[in-house]
Amino acid sequence: MPLLRTLGAALAVLAASTAIPGTATAQAVNPKPQTIPALREWTGGTGDFTFSATSRVVRDPALATTAAVFADDLTARFGHPVAQTDTGARAGDVVLRLGSTDTALGEEGYALSVTDRVVITARTDTGAFYGTRTVLQLLKQRTTIPRGTARDWPLKPERGLMVDNGRKYFTPQWLADHVKELAYLKMNYLHLHLSDNLGFRIESEKHPEYVSAQHLTKQQVRDLIALAARYKVTVVPEFDAPGHMDTILAKHPDLKLVSSSGQVNNGFIDLSKPAAYTLIKDIYDEYLPLFPAPYFHIGADEYVTDYASYPQLLTYARATYGSTANAKDAYLGFVNWANGIVRAAGKTTRAWNDGLHGGSAVRVQSNIVIEFWYKYGLTPQQHVDNGHLISNESWDPTYYVLYNGSVGRPNTTWGYETWNTNVFQGNQTLNSASQSRNLGSKIHVWCDYPAGETEAQIASGIRDPLRMLAQQTWGSPKLVSTWSAFTSVIAVIGRNPAWPSSAQPGNLAFGKPVTVSSTETPAFPGVNAVDGDYGSRWSSAYTDREWITVDLGVTRQVGRVKLSWETAYGRGYLVQSSVDGVSWTTLRTVTGGDGGVDDLTGLAGSGRYVRVQGTARATSWGFSLYEFEVYGA
């Protein structure tokens, strides 16, 4: 028997290794392609679909807007117009269809079939739109798509971004760019925090006196809302009250809350005064009609904590809610009062969680959506048990905060590898029966010190956290298990095709693969140095012998290298080239670098690989480059 086994094995090897004329070798089944978020289900086929200059978007008539947006994005990707038609699908086309009977797809899911054409089928326009985002990501990588079939739908209905416009002015273009970026990641919610202690950032016809010099006009907001509608993004405003009202109260000082000792609080409005409600109602009446979203955020965070210092609130509460009321009831009553106005306008109120507890005569109405950001007061489970819908806006891992001299960044490693959307701040959770009451989550940009970063730097800083959150809120099986591996997927997917780039014509390094000796943290990977974005950067460990190498793909002449340094610049370094990545030729030696931009011209060399090899740091930090650009001779 051992001899027969050996003989059988030998014959099997011979058969496997001997080609028979006229037969085809079986093709490998295509693995799940790289997308963010990952596809929920994938069945690989063999071979590829190819998108060409003659490919068209073939649509159901009801999908005209989605098809037009998709065609515009494809034009941005390929640089030529993409035709649209209602009939006659052929090989090479992308087909958008409604009419799916697959109930598992829900309102936002879709099915994808890739053969000699791509067919997206959905139950709704939104589902078809998200199918186009998958195809767009795949075509961002190359002009071919692996054949196969997919079914895909989200875990959570809300997946988004909050921007603190109140403290820092964000331009309409920045906001529009992020609408498209959210949609690229199948995210659907933009929360505009429009008022805070440092500004009121939207035009007002009722109260122009408290509008900040830098602000959005109503027409700019309408334009943003219209763009967002095309990209399936809901724009929700927030006007924070009764706290964080410094800008407003600076023009209405008689309404500032004053303590029993005479201390004036510049940000708290006095809820014992009828004029306070008149002023706030003016805000609601002016902006409720402007925003068509089903939600309206009233803020309601970080109001009074030492109620004993404000006896007028106790007096008001007992006069309004009865003798059993405590001072906190004045605040809780305000929340319910605001909710009544919002609901009368046909919308649902949203409010931060931290103060929504502690009354004795007043309980917050259960039709208010609770945005849970920190472990103050009631637990998430208690809020849900009280009848509320809830969203997970936990500080960890969703807060991006501009501090004085530093930036607090989301812990993306923990957020990707460990956290999920049903884990709230303080590791508080919901029971399985309550998890459907959790709407989702957002990345939050808080601008406590608005000069801490520029718009471009913030855009760079939130790029990877948004992709972490996109994956976690969509909830599909991950392509890779570690954050380090996921950053490689991020690099492959890139930005949406319409994202503005600072890349200069002729930059051979733009978008090319890079390797580095180290990274300071996962927030500063090497790919940032070749992304055409002067707001993002690579940052190394704190040694003198750090390096970064770009692979140009083929051997090229190298005549110029431009290095844009962050504060941690190189005082000494070598610029080198190589044809094989092993043997290096030094093109320039720098020993007295002074930071800023080093534009090194007159180089004479060639290679597939170009490297900056550090020899001496200028600071105690490592080496940090915003951009590493390479140009031909």
Active-site positions read: 302
According to DSSP, residue 40 is labeled S
Closest by CA position to 179, among listed 609, 444, 498? 498
Closest by CA position to 299, among listed 356, 365, 233? 356
Two structure tokens written together for 285: 């009446």
Alpha carbon distance 23, 10 (integer Å): 22
- The helix/strand/coil state of 329 is helix
Alpha carbon distance 373, 352 (integer Å): 7
Type and span of the H or E element at 515: strand 514-516
Pairing of strands 110-114, 199-200: unpaired
According to DSSP, residue 456 is labeled H
Residue 358 phi/psi, 5-degree rounding, is 95, 0
- The helix/strand/coil state of 539 is strand
Cβ atoms within 10 Å, residue 264 = 11
Residue 123 phi/psi, 5-degree rounding, is -90, -20
Instruction: Please report the DSSP string for 150-187 in residue order.
Output: EEE--S-SEEEEEE-TTTS---HHHHHHHHHHHHHTT-
Is the distance from CB of 423 to CB of 380 less than 8 angstroms?
no
Hey, what amino acid is at 206? K
386-390: long-range pairs with CB below 8 Å, 24+: 388/437, 389/437, 389/438, 389/439, 390/430, 390/437, 390/438, 390/439
Sheet holding 538-539, edge to edge: 538-539, 624-631, 560-565, 597-600
Closest by CA position to 608, among listed 540, 541, 556? 556
- The helix/strand/coil state of 412 is helix
Pairing of strands 369-372, 390-392: parallel
Instruction: Please report the DSSP string for 372-398 in residue order.
Output: E-SS-SS-HHHHHHTT--EEE--HHHH
Is the distance from CB of 510 to CB of 195 less than 8 angstroms?
no
Residue in this structure with the two tokens 């929920």, named with its chain if needed: 40
Two structure tokens written together for 261: 């000792």
- The helix/strand/coil state of 85 is strand
Instruction: Please report the DSSP string for 193-223 in residue order.
Output: E-EETTEE-B--SS-GGG--SS-B-HHHHHH
